[in-house]
């Protein structure tokens, strides 16, 4: 059954459209008897007000934007982003808001500028494509509330992130504790905050074990499976005994490349990733990785944004969510390393 309109509720209640609107908006100028009568009709007819129209009439909106820079095909094929957006949508729904999605592509920066300038959304959750993205400035200029998923060095920016540096150091240290000494990494793109921090964590682990960071054992990828395959092909020229890939997709590509070279994981090269995507357990062998929860990142970022919208004078806030090292068969054991030698 189609939902009733405001006009139909007014007709059934025997009152004006403006009276129904006052009841829905909890206006104190409506008598208790009229209020209860109208609400009874609203409940009976299962009427749901148009929250967007209501927001526009009041000079505000219940729509927020999720802004994701980058190549659209990469965004749509990376399992991370649907999970991030799912978390945002669930958190928005709980607080009667809607999420509008804006993806990277031609004219993307102009689109974001227009969104901010015209005030068509109450705020923006921004998946940080760069440590201090130039897109931040038009948002600051328009005073649009904003939360970044991914850290920023700009003290004006509120953000939600995981401890990428510490988590990467933890997984690289695990590979080193297993006896590996030529631990390579397939890093993410050098402009991405998560990639910068994960590479820093890898470097910190190498140095903490008293080893020298070898640039030949560092390959810059782009978080895609194809760059993982290209990365392992390049790195195998320098004979690593273990590889930390800064995303599970790159780890999957590296696994395929190792097999294509006639080598085995973990017997010849131990392997670990980052993200704990659903496919990580389906790889053969199952992938050691760092578990982060994109749904929780999305939900936390959206909730933080709505808090900032409600209290625009509040100072920027930062949230760091926990991760977990998940050890599976792809990195082998200390005994495997001893047998390899």
The pLDDT value recorded for residue 333 is 73
Q: Where are the alpha helices (DSSP H) in 26-79?
A: 32-44, 51-57, 72-77
- Quick one: pLDDT at residue 286? 98
Neighbour-count burial of 233, counting CB atoms closer than 10 A to its CB (0-12 exposed, 13-18 middle, 19+ buried): middle
Q: What is the DSSP letter of 237?
A: G
pLDDT digits (tens, 9 = 90+) for 183-229: 999 999 998 889 999 999 999 999 999 999 999 999 999 999 999 99
6-49 shares its CATH topology with 164-291+326-340: no
Q: How far is CA 339 from CA 240, 263, 266, 285, in A?
A: 16, 16, 12, 18
C-alpha pair distances (Å), 318 with each of 6, 36, 235: 42, 44, 36
State whether the Cα torsion 254-255-259-262 is positive or negative.
positive
Q: Where are the domains of the chain?
A: 6-49, 63-162+294-323, 164-291+326-340
**Which pLDDT belongs to residue 20?**
86
Q: Is the pLDDT of residue 56 over 50?
A: no
Condensed to tens digits (0 to 9), the pLDDT of residues 67-95 reads 887 767 777 788 899 999 999 999 999 98
Cα distance between residue 33 and residue 249, in whole Å: 62
Find the range with the poorest average confidence among 61-65, 156-160, 264-268, 333-337: 333-337
Q: Residue 303: which of 51, 61, 92 has the closest Cα?
A: 92
CATH topology of domain 6-49: 434 Repressor (Amino-terminal Domain) (1.10.260)
Residues 300-320: what's their mean pLDDT? 92
What percentage of residues in the chain have a pLDDT greater than 90?
56
Mean pLDDT of 304-314: 90
Tell me, what's the pLDDT at 52? 47
| Average pLDDT score over residue span 294-315 | 93
Per-residue pLDDT reduced to its tens digit, 180-195? 999 999 999 998 889 9
- In which residue are the tokens 């607080």 written? 95
Non-local (6+) Cβ contacts of 221 within 8 A are: 186, 187, 188, 189, 227, 228, 230, 231, 245, 246, 250
What class, spelled out in words, does domain 164-291+326-340 have in CATH? Answer: alpha beta
Tell whether domain 63-162+294-323 is in CATH 3.40.50.2300.
yes
* First vs last C-alpha separation in the chain: 72
pLDDT digits (tens, 9 = 90+) for 245-276: 999 999 999 999 999 999 999 999 999 999 99
Q: Distance (Å, rounded) from C-alpha 148 to C-alpha 65?
A: 12
* Region 152-175 average pLDDT: 95
**Mean pLDDT, the chain, integer:** 87
Better pLDDT: 21 or 2: 21
- Tokens 């959206």: give the residue: 302
Least confident of 78-87, 197-206, 234-243, 282-291: 78-87
- The whole-number pLDDT of residue 75 equals 75
């Amino acid at each position: 059954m189609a939902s009733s309109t405001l006009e139909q509720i007014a007709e059934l209640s025997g009152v004006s459209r403006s009276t129904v609107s006052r009841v829905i908006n909890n206006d104190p100028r409506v008598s208790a008897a009229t209020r209860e009568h109208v609400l009874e009709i609203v409940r009976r007819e299962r009427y749901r007000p148009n929250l967007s129209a209501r927001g526009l009439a009041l000079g505000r909106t219940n729509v927020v934007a999720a802004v994701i820079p980058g190549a659209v095909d990469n965004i749509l094929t990376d399992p991370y982003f649907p999970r991030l957006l799912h978390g945002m949508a669930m958190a928005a729904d709980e607080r009667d808001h809607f999420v509008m999605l804006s993806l990277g592509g031609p004219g993307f920066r102009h689109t974001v500028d227009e969104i901010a300038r015209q005030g068509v959304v109450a705020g923006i959750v921004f998946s940080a494509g760069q440590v201090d993205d130039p897109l931040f400035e038009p948002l600051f200029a328009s005073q649009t509330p904003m939360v970044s998923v991914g850290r920023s060095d700009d003290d004006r920016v509120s953000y939600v992130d995981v401890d990428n540096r510490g988590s990467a150091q933890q997984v690289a240290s695990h590979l080193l504790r297993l006896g590996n000494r030529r631990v390579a990494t397939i890093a993410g793109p050098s402009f991405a905050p998560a990639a910068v921090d994960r590479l820093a964590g890898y470097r910190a682990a190498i140095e903490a074990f008293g080893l020298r960071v070898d640039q030949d054992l560092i390959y810059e990828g782009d978080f895609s499976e194809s760059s993982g395959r290209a990365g392992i092909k390049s790195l195998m020229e320098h004979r690593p005994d273990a590889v930390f890939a800064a995303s599970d997709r790159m780890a999957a590509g590296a696994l395929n490349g190792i097999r294509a070279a006639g080598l085995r994981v973990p017997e010849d090269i131990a392997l670990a990733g980052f993200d704990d995507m659903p496919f990580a357990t389906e790889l053969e062998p199952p992938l050691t990785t760092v578990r982060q929860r994109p749904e929780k990142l999305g939900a936390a970022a959206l909730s933080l944004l709505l808090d900032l919208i409600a209290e625009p004078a509040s100072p920027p806030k930062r949230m760091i969510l926990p991760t977990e090292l998940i050890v599976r068969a792809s990195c082998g054991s200390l005994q495997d390393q001893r047998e390899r030698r």
